[in-house]
Amino acid sequence: MAAGTEEPPESVHHYDYAEEVPSDIQKYAVRAIFYTLTLIKLNIAEHVATAPAAKTVLIDAFAGAGGNTIAFALSGRWERIFAIEKDPEVLQCAKHNAEVYGVANKIWWVQGDCFDIIKKRFASVGKDAVIFASPPWGGPGYTSDEVFNLSTMQPYSLQDLYMPFSKTTTEFALYLPRTSNLNQLAKYAPQDRQLQATHYCTKGASKALCVYFGDFRTTGDSEDL
């Protein structure tokens, strides 16, 4: 059910000014505290929207604080958008952020494990759906790996993500570390087509990587696998 006005839970600290943020978490402030829509999220939403027109449902499997979900809602492309988040307090923050951007009434919020929910509640709409997944990568330590091993990614490996999503729909996108092992991804390309991996860059440096499974028509700094 679409949410009404929500306030952040008491356990979530709110800061009005950057200088109020503790020094040990300042590097995450833009993403986690001062929530804003980044150009990267808007570009991803634009690219996900290139899925076949028959795909009218968007499922954000790891909604988090709602950044990508809100970008999808602002695109106006989808008839229904479902945001799934396991942590109830984080989901409450996502609802609040959606209120700020005026799109809360365009999103259905679901609290729980995305794999169970998609299997039990969305199997029947899979043919009409695109799944977007920005899974946890096991913490900031991933930045130390020159090439990130997707087979050992925690808590969900590439295989853990690919199998349930590919059983639900032919079109899904994974948001992964920019240093992900592309050879591992290439093994999941079907025989009749290539996967497209798109790097999203700012100031000439890659900041994010999305891999698109299925029929998408993305543009930008991409490569076929």
pLDDT, one tens digit per residue, over 176-195 is: 998 999 999 999 988 877 88
Model confidence at 66: pLDDT above 70? yes
Task: Specify whether the CB–CB gap between 129 and 169 falls below 8 A.
Answer: yes
Q: According to the model, what pLDDT value does residue 202 have?
A: 80
The phi, psi pair for 31, rounded to 5°, reads -80, -35
- Exposure letters 12-46 (e unless 16+ CB within 10 A, then b): eeeeeeeeebeeeeeeeeeeebebebbebbbbbbb
CA dist., res. 174 & res. 178, Å (int): 11
Model confidence at 25: pLDDT above 70? no
CA dist., res. 7 & res. 130, Å (int): 29
Q: Which letter does DSSP use for residue 187 in this model?
A: T
CA atoms within a 13 Å half-sphere pointing along the CA-CB vector of 207: 12
**Judging by beta carbons within 10 Å of its beta carbon (0-12, 13-18, 19+), is residue 61 exposed, middle or buried?**
buried
Q: Where are the alpha helices (DSSP H) in 87-177?
A: 88-100, 114-121, 158-168
CA dist., res. 52 & res. 110, Å (int): 25
Single-letter residue type at 152 = T
Which of the four CATH numbers 3.40.50.10070, 3.40.50.150, 3.40.50.300, 3.30.70.360 does domain 28-138+145-213 have?
3.40.50.150
Q: According to the model, what pLDDT value does residue 204 have?
A: 81
What value does the mean pLDDT take over residues 50-59?
96
Q: According to the model, what pLDDT value does residue 12 have?
A: 53
Sign of CA dihedral 105, 111, 113, 119: negative
Span 76-135, pLDDT tens digits = 999 999 999 999 999 999 999 999 999 999 999 999 999 999 999 998 898 999 999 999
Which pTM value belongs to this model? 0.82
